[in-house]
Structure 1
Amino acid sequence: MEGTTFQVKNMVCPRCITVISSELEALGVAFEIDRLGEITIFGHGQVDMAAVKQVLAKHDFELIQDKDELLAEQVKLAVLDLVQGNVTTNLRNSDYIAERVGQSYSSLSKTFSKREGITIEKYLILQKIEKVKELLEYEEMNLSEIARKLGYSSVHHLSNQFKTVTGLTVNQYKESGDRERNAIGKV
Structure 2
Amino acid sequence: MMVKSELEKFGLHPLTVELGMAEVERELSAEEKKLLNERFVRLGFELIDDKKTRLIESIKTAVVELIRNPNYLPKMTFSEYLSEKFHHDYSALSKLFSEVQGMTIEQYVIIQKIERVKELLVYDELSLSEIAFQLNYSSVSYLSKQFKKVTGLTPTHFKQVKENKRIPLDKL
Alignment of 1:107-118 (within 5 A): 107-118=92-103
Q: Which amino acid aligns with 1:41?
A: V
Which digits, 9 at most, give the CA deviation of each residue in 1:117-155, with x for residues without a partner? Answer: 000000000000000111111111111111111110111
SS in 1 for 2:126: coil
Q: Which has the higher contact order (CA 8 A, sep 6+)?
A: 1
List gaps (5 residues or longer) in structure 2.
Answer: none
Match of 1:162 among 142, 147, 158: 147
Alignment of 1:33 onto 2:16 = yes
Alignment of 1:19 onto 2:30 = no
CA contact (8 A) 2:64 2:112 kept: yes
Match of 2:43 among 59, 63, 67: 59
Instruction: Provide the C-alpha distance between the structure 2 equivalents of 1:186 and 1:87, rounded to a whole number of angstroms.
Output: 26
How many residue pairs match? The answer is 170
Match of 2:84 among 99, 110, 116: 99
Which digits, 9 at most, give the CA deviation of each residue in 1:19-45, with x for residues without a partner? Answer: 211222333322221543332223545
Alignment of 1:79 onto 2:63 = yes
Which digits, 9 at most, give the CA deviation of each residue in 1:134-184, with x for residues without a partner? Answer: 111111111111111111011111100100000011121112253221112
- Which residue in the other structure is 1:141 paired with? 126
Q: Which amino acid aligns with 1:58?
A: R
List gaps (5 residues or longer) in structure 1.
Answer: 1-17
Which digits, 9 at most, give the CA deviation of each residue in 1:73-120, with x for residues without a partner? Answer: 121112112111176322111100111111110000100001000000
1:20/1:86 CA distance change after superposition, 3 Å = farther
1:70/1:49 CA distance change after superposition, 3 Å = closer
Q: Which amino acid aligns with 1:55?
A: R
CA contact (8 A) 2:70 2:135 kept: no
Q: Which amino acid aligns with 2:49?
A: Q
CA RMSD of aligned residues (A): 2.0
SS in 1 for 2:170: helix
Larger fraction in strand: 1
